[in-house]
Amino acid sequence: MDLDQFKIINDTCGHSAGDELLRQLGREMRSVIRKQDTLSRLGGDEFGLLLEHCSLNEAHHVAETILNKVQNFHFSWNGKIFRIGISIGLVAINQNFSDMTELLQWADSACYMAKESGRNRIHIYHPEDKELALRHGQMKWVSKINQALEDNRFIIYAQTIEPLDQSGGKHYELLLRMIDEDGETIPPGAFLPAAERFDLMEKIDQWVVGNAFSLLSSHSKFLDNVEFVSINLSGPSLTNESFLTDIIERFEDYSVEPSKICFEVTETVAISNMDCAIKFITKLKSIGCRFALDDFGSGLSSFGYLKSIPVDYLKIDGVFVKDMVTDPIDYAMVKSINDIGHVMSKKTIAEYVENEEIKNMLRMLGVDFAQGYGIDKPQPFDLLLDNLEEKGSRKVS
């Protein structure tokens, strides 16, 4: 059971008010449960309730009684009246669970689903609940991600972004992979959704930026021969001023030229954190960095917001690019994004370029750059650097 709006009381009235609210609610909840049941505060604004010798239907009735009790409860502090809610995850204890830890994880997942469904409600765990299973699976990734960060078991890959008119310089997007305990490479689609949901993206961004700068600083000739490399940033990083300061310090520590770095943010992230995104982008552009707006076209108000976000590149969402040869609507979307981008003096990059036919069509439209398996597959960045350095040495000799 997780209280809704508890943080508001802590923030507006102080922690002493929050503590008193918890005490009062504890008494309220105890008044509606049976003597043999066990109520406990698990931490923060979370409570746990163990119902013994109780069917799932009876437990749901108890949960509804608690929900109504909390809904109707008025908390008074210094003349102010507050009302809160509660989200409840309900799990039946049976032979499906091997241990108490797993049981609590499912209860926590069910509680989270109650919150996601609108808060102040009950979500019952069922084995066939696909959404709950997805979230539970993501929860298991949390410890794996933290352990991989601790053991330095991430690896940076790079994928070529090629100029279509051959006039611009080649550049690369840096991508992330995880190495599991058995040495297998894990694609980002497996672990990044969990990192995003459970607030681990900022830690990952810090790892990527630090390790990318370290690699680049030890391969100065590579930077001399490319236009720039792109590094992806998440929403939490855009809103963290200390992370912005950290990036600026890394440019100095590693002697990396800011003009050689292009940071990518998704359209959705930029729009949802507009003020922070503009401040973040403006500050780094002032020292010479470039910015790209990734997955452009996926938002509902793409063109309307574009005037406000000071980016240099638009990355056309690959969902339009991959079928543009056969789908006239996708073709029109790619063309319109490219035209608007050029009118606003921004370069365009098409994602998901998987074959020569798409590449040629993009070239005819005047799209500036292409990226995808039809151009180049991602490869470990350190190997790419070593190979390019070796080629350069051969040419010199």
Where are the CATH 3.20.20.450 domain residues in the chain?
Answer: 141-396
For 374, which DSSP code? T
Answer whether 115's CB lies under 8 Å from 197's CB: no
* Cβ neighbours for 374, distance < 8 A, ≥ 6 positions apart: 353, 354, 355, 356, 358, 359
Query: What is the pLDDT, as a whole number, of residue 232?
Result: 95
Q: Is 220 helix (H, G, I), strand (E, B) or coil?
A: helix
Strand 38-43 vs strand 74-77: parallel, antiparallel, or unpaired?
unpaired
Where are the CATH 3.30.70.270 domain residues in the chain?
Answer: 2-127
Residue 131 CA to residue 137 CA, distance in Å, equals 10
Query: What is the pLDDT, as a whole number, of residue 270?
Result: 79
Q: What is the CATH T-level fold of the domain 141-396, as seen in this structure?
A: TIM Barrel (3.20.20)
Which residue in 308, 316, 349, 347 sits closest to 333, CA to CA?
Answer: 316
* Cβ neighbours for 324, distance < 8 A, ≥ 6 positions apart: 330, 331, 333, 334, 358, 361
Query: What is the pLDDT, as a whole number, of residue 66?
Result: 94
Query: What is the pLDDT, as a whole number, of residue 395?
Result: 55
Q: What is the CATH T-level fold of the domain 2-127, as seen in this structure?
A: Alpha-Beta Plaits (3.30.70)
Answer whether 184's CB lies under 8 Å from 148's CB: no
**At residue 54, what is the residue type?**
C
pTM above 0.75, yes or no: no
The 3-state secondary structure of 307-356 reads: CCCCCCEEEECHHHHCCCCCCHHHHHHHHHHHHHHHHCCCEEEECCCCCH
Query: What is the pLDDT, as a whole number, of residue 397?
Result: 46
Residue 312 CA to residue 341 CA, distance in Å, equals 9
Which residue in 196, 181, 178 sits closest to 135, CA to CA?
Answer: 196
Residue 306 CA to residue 271 CA, distance in Å, equals 9
**At residue 182, what is the residue type?**
D
Burial of 129 (0-12, 13-18, 19+ CB in 10 A): middle
Which tokens is 319 given?
């969902």
pLDDT in tens, the chain (397 residues): 999 888 888 888 888 998 999 999 999 999 999 889 999 998 888 999 999 999 999 999 999 999 999 999 999 998 888 888 999 999 999 887 777 887 888 888 888 888 877 888 999 988 777 777 676 677 778 889 999 999 999 999 999 999 998 776 789 999 999 999 889 999 998 899 888 878 899 999 999 999 999 999 988 888 888 899 999 999 888 888 899 999 999 999 999 999 999 999 987 787 777 888 899 999 999 999 999 988 887 654 557 777 788 899 999 999 999 999 999 999 999 999 999 999 999 999 999 999 999 999 999 999 999 999 999 999 999 888 877 766 655 554 4
For 170, which DSSP code? P
For 261, which DSSP code? E
Strand 313-316 vs strand 347-350: parallel, antiparallel, or unpaired?
parallel
